[in-house]
Structure 1
Amino acid sequence: MTDPDVLVVDGQSLSCADIVRFAGGDVLVVIAPEAMAQVHRVHETARAVSAARPVYGRTTGVGANRDAVVGTGDAETHDLRLLLSHAAGVGEVLDDAVVRAAMLVRLNQLAAAGSGIHPRMVRGLHDALRAGALPTVHDAGSIGTGDLSALAEIGLTLAGHLPWARGHLDPVDLAPGDALAFLSSSAVTLARAALVADELGRLLGAAHTVAALSYCALGGSAEAFAEQVHARRPHAGAMRAAARMRRLLWHEGDLSPGRRIQDPFGLRAFPQVHGPALDGVEHLHRVLEIEVNAAAENPLVDARTGAVFHHGQFSTAYPALSLDNLRAAVHHVAELSAARLGDLVEPDFTGLTPFLASGPAGSSGIMILEYVAHDALGRLRHSAGPVTLGTSVISRGVEDHASFTPHSARSTAAAAAGYRTVLACELVAAVRALRLADTAPRGELLAAVYADLVEALPDVRTDHPLGAEIRLASELVDGLAAV
C-alpha cells in the first residue's frame, strides 16, 4: 500500500490485509507500470512460441483434448468456446465482497506476468475494478484444480457475453490463448480463504478478552499463564496467548493465586489450545500470500528465456491443508469456550446462582446459552472434518487428483460462523456473571473493556429471550480483537 486510498497491484506484494480492505470497498486500484510492461513482454513471448511449437490451451484443446490441434488465429471460436463450455452457472451466487476480492487476486496474479494473456484483458479487469463493475459469479464447479467455472463467468462478462450484475464495461476482445490464461487460477477460492482467515484472526484475537472476562468471573489462577511455565515449552502461539492473557489480567503485577489449587481445563489449558489456532492463522496467511502473488498459470510463459513450461502449479494442496488444519484447531478452541460457559453456570465455580438466574426458585437464567453454544459447536465439528482426504479422476483419466480447496474454504467459513456464536454465548455469560457478582476486573485495560460491554449489553436479569443479546455479542466480538 502506498496511500490510504490507493492499492498498487504489481504481482508481487499483495497481502491478505489488502484483499480484505479492498473487498470492503472505497479503495482505488492502480497497476504498477513495470508490471504492465512485463505483461506485454510475456504476451509477445507467448505469441512467438505458439507459432513454433504446441502450447497447451493455445494451440491445443484442454484436459483430455490436450492433443487436439486448434488454430492460433480463431480466438472468437476456440477461446470463446472454452469460456462458454466452462461456465456452468450453477450453485449459489457469490456475494459482492468475495467477487471483488477474487477479481483483485486474479488481477494481481496476471500482473505477475506468467500467463501470456493479452494486456487488454488485464486492463479490462483493472478497469472493471476501478469502475465498481461486478459480474454474477456462481459457486459451483471447482474442486481445487482451478476455479474454472467461476472464472469463466468473469471472463465471459468481460468479453461481453454475459451481463454485468453491477455497473458496466465495454466488451474486451479475446485474443488467442486468453481463455485458458484467464481460467488457470484458483483466485475465487484464495479470495474466500483470505476473507475467512481475517475473520478467524479477529475472533481468535477477541477470544483472549472473552476468556479473560471468564477468568475474572471464575476466579482463575494466574499460574497457568506464567512466563516461566511457557518458556519451558516455547511453542510460538501458546507463548503469544499466555503473554496476551498476562497483559489483560495481571498487567499491574498481581500474580496472586486464584480460588482453586488448579483450574478446569477451559481456564488452565487456554494457551496450549489457543496457540495452535493462532499459529494456524499465521501459517494460512503466509501460504495465501505466496499463492495470490504467484504466476501459477499452466503453462508458464517465461519472457527471460523465451520458454514455455507445462506444469502442475494449479494444485492448491498448500492452502487446502492449511485450511483443514486451521478448522481443526478452531474446533478445539471453541470446545474450551463452551467448557468455560459450562463453568460459568455452575455455582461451585462462581459462588453465584445456578445458570446465573435471578428471580423465583427454578428460574432458568442463561440455561439456553449452553444449548445454543453446543448446537453451534456441533455444526463447527461437522465443518471441521478434513476435506482433503478425497480425490477425483476426471477428463478421461488424465486429471487424477484434486485437493478440494474450495470445499475447505467453504467449510472454514462455516466454522467461523459456528465459533462466533460459541464465543458470543460465553461473552454474554461472563458479563452477566460479573454483573451479578458486582465485581469489575481489576486490571485497567480489561476494566475499561468491561465498562464498554456493560454499556452495550442490556442488563435484564429476569428470565427473558436471549436471542437479541447473543446477536449483539456476536457483533461486539470483532471489536474486542484489538484489545
Structure 2
Amino acid sequence: MTPLVLTGAGVSIEDVAAAARSAAKVEVTPSVMEHLAKARKVLDEAAAAGQQIYGLNTGLGANLGTAVEGDASAFQRQLLDGRGAAVGDALPIQLVRAAMFARIAMLSAGGSGLSPHVFSALVEMLNAGVHPVMPALGSIGAGDLVMMTAIAHTLIGEGDADYQSRRMPSAKALMMARLPPVSLAPKDGLSLINASAVSTGAGALALVDALSAMEQQQQAGALTMEALAANRTILDPRLHVARPAACQLLAARTLRDLLARDHETPPTSLQDPLSIRCMPSIHGALIQAIDHARLAVEIELNAAADNPLVLVEDALVLSTGNFHTASLALAFETLGLAIAQCAGACAARFIQLTGSGRNGLPKYLSPLGGASAGFVPLQKTVTAILAAIRHKANPVMLDYLPVSEGVEDHATQTLLAVSKCGDMIVLWRRLIAMELMAAAQAVDLREGITLAPATAVIHASVRTHVPALKEDRPLGANANVLYAALADGSWRA
C-alpha cells in the first residue's frame, strides 16, 4: 500500500481509514520536522523568559494557579499518571490506530511545541503496530485527554499494549518492536493528550462507513422502485432544480442512473407512498449531513488545536479553547438525525414491499400463500432496529456537568455523539440488507419485469448471498449474511 505522507495539511477521512484499517505506513516530510523544531524552540524560549505556560510550568484545570517547581519533565509523568482515569472495555485496535493517526496528523500541522523526537516515536510506534490498550470511557468532549493518556503511557514504556495480536506490558511491546521508550521534555505529556484525536479518528471511520452505506441505500431504493413499478417521474431533474434543497438533485441523479434503460415502462400509480416519492429529498439531506460532518472532521485532522498554542511565525505561546469541539459534536448529532430519517424511510419501504399485497405482489412476498409467513416476521425485526436507531438519535451534546471546581464548566460530549452515530450506521445497514432482500424477492415474483442494467446487477448481487424464498425458512440468518457482505466490503453491485 502507498504510504501516507504527512505534509501538515490535506489529511482526509480516507487517510484515517487507510491507517486504521489497512495499516498503511505513515511518512513525514522534512518540512514538518523543521516546523516542529521551530515550535519547540519558541516554547522553550518563552518558558526561559519566565512566561506562565499552561501545563509546562503551571498545574492543570483547577490547579492552574499552582506553579510547577523542580523537575518539569517529572511533572509531565505526574500529569499523565494523574489523568489516567479512563475505564471500561478497551477500544478496538482500529479505533486506537485511528486516534493515533489523528493525533499525528494534528501534530503535523504545528502548534503543539511537542519535542520532535517524541513526535517521531509516535509515528514509529504506529508503523510498528504497537497499540496502547485504551479504555473506552472517559471523554466528555473537552479534549479526549483521559483516554489519550494510554498512548502517552505506552510511548514512555508504561501501561499495556497490544502487539502482534498479544496483550502485554508496553515496555515489552516496545522492546519486541525494537523501539526505545521516550523521555518527555516539559509540556510533551500535555501535547500528547490534550486533543480530540479519539473523537476525530472515530468520526473519520464512521463517515467512511456512512458513505458506503449511503451508496448501498441508493441501490436498495432503486431496486425497490423496480419491484413496485414506482413512478420514476419523481427523478426528473427539473423537479429538483425547482426546489434545490440539500443535495436532492444529486440523490435523484444517482437513482435515475441506477434505473436508466432503453425503454421506459409505465408506472403502476400516479403517486407512490412518501418513503418512495420523497427518496431524493430524504437521501439528499443525508448526503449533505455527511458532507458537513466530513468538513468538520477534516478541519480537526488538519488543525493546530492545542492549548496552549505555539504561533511559530509570531514567536508567541497563547492559551486557547481550540481543543473544544462543539462544531464536530453538532455535525454528528445532525448526521445521526439524518441517518434516522433515512432509516425510517427504508423501514417504511420494507413494510410496503412485504405487506398485504396491494402493490400487485403476493401477500407477504410468499409464493405459497395460505398460512405462509413469508417476509412478514421480519417486519418485527425491522421495527426493533428502527426503534434502536431512533433511541440513539436523541442528542447528547448538552449532557454534561461542571467539573474541576467549575473551571471546566462546558463540554460537548463529542465522542459519545460520534460513537452513537457509528452504532446507528451499523443498524441502518441492517435495514438496507432487509430492504434489498425484500426488493429482490418482489422482483422475482413480479411477472413481466425487465430490470435496468444497473438494478439487474444489484438483484444478482443479492442472489449471490441470499436465495429466493420458495418456502418459509429462517430469514434472519439470510439477513445476517447479506449485512455482513454489505459491511465487510464483499458486496459488489
Query: Which residue does the alignment assign to 2:63?
Result: 65
* Rounded Cα–Cα distance in structure 2 between residues aligned with 1:26 and 1:161: 24
Equivalent residue in structure 1 for 2:7, among 6, 10, 13:
10
Query: Which residue does the alignment assign to 2:169?
Result: none
After superposition, the Cα gap between the structure-2 partners of 1:122 and 1:62, relative to the gap in structure 1 and judged at 3 Å, is: same
**Do the aligned residues in 1 keep the contact of 2:246 with 2:281 (CA within 8 Å)?**
no
Letter in 1 for 2:242: R
* Rounded Cα–Cα distance in structure 2 between residues aligned with 1:138 and 1:9: 28
* Rounded Cα–Cα distance in structure 2 between residues aligned with 1:480 and 1:446: 18
* Rounded Cα–Cα distance in structure 1 between residues aligned with 2:455 and 2:478: 21
SS of the aligned residue for 2:88 comes to coil
Query: Which residue does the alignment assign to 2:42?
Result: 45
Q: Return 5+ residue gaps in structure 1 as ranges.
A: none
- Figure out how many residues of one structure are paired with residues of the other and give that number: 478
Query: Which residue does the alignment assign to 2:184?
Result: 174
Equivalent residue in structure 2 for 1:83, among 80, 85, 90:
80
After superposition, the Cα gap between the structure-2 partners of 1:16 and 1:263, relative to the gap in structure 1 and judged at 3 Å, is: same
SS of the aligned residue for 1:165 comes to strand
**Do the aligned residues in 2 keep the contact of 1:440 with 1:447 (CA within 8 Å)?**
no
After superposition, the Cα gap between the structure-2 partners of 1:366 and 1:282, relative to the gap in structure 1 and judged at 3 Å, is: same
* Rounded Cα–Cα distance in structure 2 between residues aligned with 1:481 and 1:328: 26
Query: Which residue does the alignment assign to 1:366?
Result: 375
After superposition, the Cα gap between the structure-2 partners of 1:422 and 1:10, relative to the gap in structure 1 and judged at 3 Å, is: same
Letter in 1 for 2:113: G
Equivalent residue in structure 1 for 2:93, among 82, 91, 96:
96
Query: Which residue does the alignment assign to 2:244?
Result: 234
**Do the aligned residues in 2 keep the contact of 1:19 with 1:101 (CA within 8 Å)?**
yes
**Do the aligned residues in 1 keep the contact of 2:332 with 2:418 (CA within 8 Å)?**
yes
SS of the aligned residue for 1:250 comes to coil
Equivalent residue in structure 2 for 1:121, among 115, 118, 123:
118
Matched, 1:334 2:343: yes
CA deviation profile, 1:340-380 (whole Å, cap 9, x unmatched) = 11111134443222111233611100112111111110000
The alpha carbon displacement at 1:236 in A equals 4.3
Equivalent residue in structure 2 for 1:161, among 158, 163, 180:
158
* Rounded Cα–Cα distance in structure 2 between residues aligned with 1:307 and 1:481: 52
Letter in 2 for 1:225: L
* Rounded Cα–Cα distance in structure 2 between residues aligned with 1:389 and 1:137: 25
Instruction: Indicate the percent of aligned positions where both proteins have the same amino acid.
Output: 32
The alpha carbon displacement at 1:110 in A equals 1.1
**Do the aligned residues in 2 keep the contact of 1:207 with 1:481 (CA within 8 Å)?**
no
Letter in 2 for 1:154: I
SS of the aligned residue for 1:314 comes to coil
* Rounded Cα–Cα distance in structure 1 between residues aligned with 2:490 and 2:361: 26
* Rounded Cα–Cα distance in structure 1 between residues aligned with 2:212 and 2:476: 22
SS of the aligned residue for 1:75 comes to helix
Matched, 1:31 2:41: no
Equivalent residue in structure 1 for 2:234, among 219, 224, 239:
224
The alpha carbon displacement at 1:186 in A equals 0.5
* Rounded Cα–Cα distance in structure 1 between residues aligned with 2:473 and 2:491: 29
Matched, 1:292 2:323: no
Equivalent residue in structure 1 for 2:328, among 315, 319, 335:
319
**Do the aligned residues in 2 keep the contact of 1:358 with 1:463 (CA within 8 Å)?**
no
* Rounded Cα–Cα distance in structure 1 between residues aligned with 2:119 and 2:127: 12
The alpha carbon displacement at 1:442 in A equals 2.5
* Rounded Cα–Cα distance in structure 1 between residues aligned with 2:155 and 2:449: 57
SS of the aligned residue for 1:281 comes to helix
Letter in 2 for 1:295: A
SS of the aligned residue for 1:387 comes to coil
Runs of 4+ in 1 over 4 A off after TM superposition: 438-441, 478-483
CA deviation profile, 1:99-144 (whole Å, cap 9, x unmatched) = 1111011011111110111111101101101111111011111101
Equivalent residue in structure 2 for 1:435, among 444, 452, 459:
444
Equivalent residue in structure 2 for 1:385, among 391, 394, 404:
394
Query: Which residue does the alignment assign to 1:215?
Result: 225
Equivalent residue in structure 1 for 2:204, among 194, 198, 201:
194
CA deviation profile, 1:443-480 (whole Å, cap 9, x unmatched) = 11221222232233222421111122101221333559
Equivalent residue in structure 2 for 1:397, among 401, 406, 409:
406
The alpha carbon displacement at 1:403 in A equals 0.7
The alpha carbon displacement at 1:253 in A equals 6.0
SS of the aligned residue for 1:289 comes to helix
**Do the aligned residues in 2 keep the contact of 1:138 with 1:150 (CA within 8 Å)?**
yes
* Rounded Cα–Cα distance in structure 2 between residues aligned with 1:470 and 1:205: 18
With the length of structure 2 as denominator, give the TM-score of the two structures.
0.94
SS of the aligned residue for 2:99 comes to helix
SS of the aligned residue for 1:361 comes to coil
The alpha carbon displacement at 1:390 in A equals 2.7
Higher alpha-carbon deviation: 177-186 or 344-353: 344-353
With the length of structure 1 as denominator, give the TM-score of the two structures.
0.95
SS of the aligned residue for 1:91 comes to strand
Query: Which residue does the alignment assign to 1:205?
Result: 215
CA RMSD of aligned residues (A): 1.7
**Do the aligned residues in 2 keep the contact of 1:210 with 1:423 (CA within 8 Å)?**
yes
**Do the aligned residues in 2 keep the contact of 1:202 with 1:481 (CA within 8 Å)?**
no
CA deviation profile, 1:59-104 (whole Å, cap 9, x unmatched) = 100001111000374312x110110111114122100111111101
**Do the aligned residues in 1 keep the contact of 2:131 with 2:161 (CA within 8 Å)?**
yes
Q: Return 5+ residue gaps in structure 2 as ranges.
A: 164-172
The alpha carbon displacement at 1:51 in A equals 1.6
The alpha carbon displacement at 1:257 in A equals 4.0
CA deviation profile, 1:197-247 (whole Å, cap 9, x unmatched) = 111111111111101111111110011111111110112411111011111
Matched, 1:446 2:458: no
